[in-house]
Amino acid sequence: MPLSAKYQSLEEYPFTRLNKLLGPVTPRANETPILMSVGEPQHEPPAFMARVIAENSHLWNRYPAMSGSQALRTAAAHWLTARYRLPQGMIEAGRHVVALSGTKEGLYLLASLAIPESKAGQPPIALMPNPYYLVYSGGAHMAGAETMPLDATAGTGFLPDLDAIPEAVLRRTALFYLCTPANPQGACADLDYFRKLIGLARRFDFVLAVDECYSEIYDRVPPVGGLEACAAMGGDTSHVLVFHSLSKRSNAAGLRIGFAAGDPDLLAKFGVLRSYGGAQVPLPLQEAAVALWQDEAHVEENRRLYRRKFDICEEILKDRFGFYRPPGGFFLWLDVGDGEAAALKLWRDAGLRSLPGPYIGRANAQGINPGERYIRLAIVHDDDTVAAGMRRLLRVL
């Protein structure tokens, strides 16, 4: 049957490619497979989460408000204010926060709002780091934008070089996705970087979507946030939306709750769009989310566990494969020469499943994919499993 041309030209999803690469291969080693290809938290969520859901079971028969309950939006606003030291009243629950069924939904759907049919008389552009989360490119592509990944390499601090973007591109830009801490490299944008990027968004009239889903998994220093930068620039949130999730912060990936916060005019229009295509979050789950956003003890323990895992990786790998300790996130981004070949070898010879870097990158104008030499490993398992994975990697590569 006839299908959308945009759908048919979507990039192949990374894990579909990975299954094609590794699916036909049976690991030779007589060892239990270690799956480090997916960033799925393995720590237990706080015990009170299940209790709160059960205590609110009487709410399952009610339709939730599309924008989220007042309690959830208030909890998110209070958390943002405390976490990023925002002026009191800068973020109002009713104007500046909208609940999401996970940030993936919001990041994808935002493109349908933010991307016009043309910009500066030409096809609009969506910018994003390269490598990137394919939901960014998928949402922008389906909304009709030309997707333009910006290389984020060791030479640029693993963030896009804002000074290298031509003004002609910026004039056509409708949407800019930024992930900080970055997936996969763990780099964190600082206040000066945010000031420059927000200034560009306002000067060239594009939407800045800041994916901060890894913001609470950091090594030593809490990463700067997009709204924190807005506060430093006078408190105006225009052109800026930040996205937060409980998936990594609270090990609650299956809860499917996040929120977008920032520009109230954008959020009002986004709410209208989500009324058509968004997913409501069940009220018992929203009550659990309120409790999670109000508790920091479990988040501090979560960070402690991740720090210990990186201690283990650092001790075993030392400086091999370009190892560095990322300031945020829970991934290793290792230079193995040929990411796809290394991923195949690791699976075949050690039962260690990783994600080839080129699967989440795209070749630039010079034909070079900045992820080509790398593999991504999600350091989410218990200490012994992480140590075993690192030893297998050394043994095989």
Region class of 157: left (phi > 0), else alpha (psi between -120 and 50), else beta: left
Helix axes 297-317, 383-396, angle to 10 degrees: 30
CATH architecture for residues 5-44+298-396? Alpha-Beta Complex (3.90)
Rounded Cα gap, residues 226 and 212, in angstroms:
8
Residues contacting residue 268 through CB under 8 Å, at least 6 positions apart: none
pLDDT at residue 277 tops 90: no
The tens digit of pLDDT for each residue in 346-381 reads 999 999 999 999 999 999 989 999 999 999 999 999
pTM (predicted TM-score)? 0.96
pLDDT of residue 3: 85
Buried b (16+ CB within 10 A) or exposed e, 266-282: bbeebbeebeeebebbb
Residues contacting residue 301 through CB under 8 Å, at least 6 positions apart: none
- Average pLDDT in the chain: 96
Rounded Cα gap, residues 115 and 130, in angstroms:
20
The tens digit of pLDDT for each residue in 205-227 reads 999 999 999 999 999 999 999 99
pLDDT of residue 10: 86
Rounded Cα gap, residues 247 and 26, in angstroms:
31
Rounded Cα gap, residues 307 and 309, in angstroms:
5
Q: What are the domain boundaries of the chain?
A: 5-44+298-396, 48-295
The C-alpha angle 50, 55, 58, rounded to 5 degrees, equals 120
Q: Tokens representing 355?
A: 């994600």
Residue 356, strand partner residues: 375
Question: Kind of pairing, strands 352-353 and 97-100?
Answer: unpaired
pLDDT of residue 312: 98
Rounded Cα gap, residues 347 and 339, in angstroms:
12
The torsion angles phi and psi of 105, rounded to 5 degrees, stand at -60, -45
The tens digit of pLDDT for each residue in 278-301 reads 889 999 999 999 999 999 999 999
CATH of domain 48-295: 3.40.640.10
**8 A C-beta contact, residue 261 and residue 242:** yes
Using the Cα atoms of residue 378, residue 380, residue 382 and residue 383 in order, give the sign of their dihedral. Answer: positive
Average pLDDT over residues 257-270: 97
Residue 272, strand partner residues: none
Rounded Cα gap, residues 223 and 202, in angstroms:
23
What burial class does residue 305 get, using C-beta atoms within 10 Å of its C-beta: 0-12 exposed, 13-18 middle, 19+ buried?
A: middle
The tens digit of pLDDT for each residue in 56-89 reads 999 999 999 989 999 999 999 999 999 999 999 9
pLDDT of residue 2: 84
Rounded Cα gap, residues 214 and 253, in angstroms:
12
pLDDT of residue 278: 86
pLDDT of residue 7: 87
Q: Tokens representing 340?
A: 């796809």
The tens digit of pLDDT for each residue in 104-138 reads 999 999 999 999 999 999 999 999 999 999 999 99
Rounded Cα gap, residues 283 and 62, in angstroms:
7
User: Where would I find the H helices in the chain?
Assistant: 5-8, 14-22, 47-55, 70-83, 93-96, 103-114, 134-142, 167-172, 191-204, 226-232, 264-277, 283-293, 297-317, 339-350, 383-396
The closest of 142, 144, 215 to 178, measured between CA atoms, is: 215
